[in-house]
């Protein structure tokens, strides 16, 4: 790459950093290098293989531009009936210090609603569980998220969390809670009992089975639950709203989408498929494009 081209590339990246669209650390991740290496390249002081780094950055910028060109999605949250109900339940749990459960199939918008609420309220703790979480790791993570060290045995972690959260009026949202071990669920009950904080467990239908226990032997936890909400898929009005947000002049096209799926995640995949076909064929969105997109998408 010529010197002039390198300087233009460097200027583009610096502009993105100034606009807070990327950080030096994230640039390092894109490059597969350290933040220090990314910083040296930005200053023009990197003594390694600059050509390879510049090829990676150039490719990344090109793909970023393509994504921006293709992404004409609304910037605001699509507030479906399910979204509103989930966030209202979370708000009530926060205000009342309740222990609540929100569950539903994958792709109905549970995680998006949780993240939205947590982003709006400063004293909300949102933990997104992974399949690999053990009880100890979960409690260590929670310990750190409230500003503590994350170090100690389970009894020590639990005791210090109680002391930290007692009377705090905070809210704990645990997403994908079906992956939590039984012991971790019981510790959450204990934490709720001794601190008065609101707790919302969010997950797949398996979560309800885990909370009941195989032989109805988890009554002490299950009895703490004040409200259970089963998140349903999109109703007609929801599909209409989503489709009109992406295709304002679609004139009833929402029925074609609704006929294929009412799951929000699948619906968004189908919308992207129709947008792509519309663009490459220079055609307006239509029922035919919806049916064509369905053939290439796993809904």
What's 27's domain CATH number?
1.10.260.40
- For residue range 183-239, list pLDDT tens digits in order: 999 999 999 999 999 999 999 999 998 888 766 656 677 778 888 999 989 999 999
Domain boundary among 230, 246, 271: 230
**What's the domain count of the chain?**
3
In this structure, the answer to whether residues 163 and 266 fall within a common structural domain is: no
| CA pair distance 180, 174, nearest whole angstrom | 9
pLDDT at 217: 59
122 half-sphere exposure, CB direction, 13 A CA radius: 1
The backbone torsions φ and ψ at residue 33, rounded to the nearest 5 degrees and listed phi first, read: -125, 180
Residue 299 lies in a domain: no
Residue 253 has pLDDT above 90, yes or no: yes
What are the residues whose beta carbons fall under 8 Å from the beta carbon of 109, sequence distance 6 or more?
Answer: 80, 82, 83, 86, 231, 264, 265
Contact at 8 Å (CB) between 208 and 44? no
Same domain, 226 and 241: no
Query: Looking at residue 218, what DSSP letter applies?
Result: -
Per-residue pLDDT band for 75 (boundaries 50, 70, 90) equals: very low
Q: Which domain holds residue 245?
A: 236-294
Same domain (yes/no): 63, 95: no
Residue after which a domain boundary falls, among 175, 208, 230: 230
Kindly state whether residues 131 and 168 are assigned to the same domain: yes
Q: Which residues contact 275 (CB under 8 A, 6 or more apart)?
A: 70, 72, 246, 285
Q: Enumerate the β-bridge partners of residue 126.
A: 173
Mean pLDDT of all residues in 14-23: 90
């Amino acid at each position: 790459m010529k010197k002039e081209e390198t300087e233009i590339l460097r200027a583009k990246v610096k502009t993105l950093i100034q606009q807070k669209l990327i950080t030096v650390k994230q640039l390092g991740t894109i490059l597969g290098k350290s933040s220090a290496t990314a910083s040296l390249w930005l200053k023009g002081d990197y003594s390694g293989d600059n050509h390879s780094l510049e090829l990676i950055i150039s490719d990344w910028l090109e793909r970023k531009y393509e994504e921006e060109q293709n992404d004409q999605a609304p910037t605001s949250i699509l507030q479906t009936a399910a979204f509103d109900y989930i966030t209202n339940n979370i708000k009530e749990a926060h205000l009342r210090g309740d222990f609540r459960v929100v569950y539903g199939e994958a792709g109905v918008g549970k995680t998006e609603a949780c993240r939205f609420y947590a982003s709006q309220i400063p004293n909300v703790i949102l933990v997104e569980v992974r399949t690999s979480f053990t009880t100890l790791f979960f409690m260590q993570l929670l310990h750190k998220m409230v500003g503590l060290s994350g170090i100690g045995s389970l009894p020590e972690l639990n005791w210090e969390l109680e002391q930290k959260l007692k009377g705090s009026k905070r809210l704990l949202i645990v997403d994908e809670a079906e992956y939590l071990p039984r012991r971790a669920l019981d510790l959450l009950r204990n934490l709720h009992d001794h601190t008065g904080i609101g707790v919302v467990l969010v997950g797949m239908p398996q979560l309800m089975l885990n909370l009941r226990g195989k032989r109805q032997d988890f009554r002490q936890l299950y009895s703490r639950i004040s409200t259970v909400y089963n998140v349903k898929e999109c109703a007609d009005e929801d599909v209409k709203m989503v489709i009109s947000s992406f295709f304002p002049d679609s004139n009833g096209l929402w029925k074609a989408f609704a006929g294929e799926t009412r799951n929000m995640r699948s619906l968004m995949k189908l919308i992207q498929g129709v947008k792509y076909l519309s663009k490459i064929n220079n055609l307006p969105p239509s029922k035919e494009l919806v049916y064509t997109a369905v053939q290439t998408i796993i809904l």
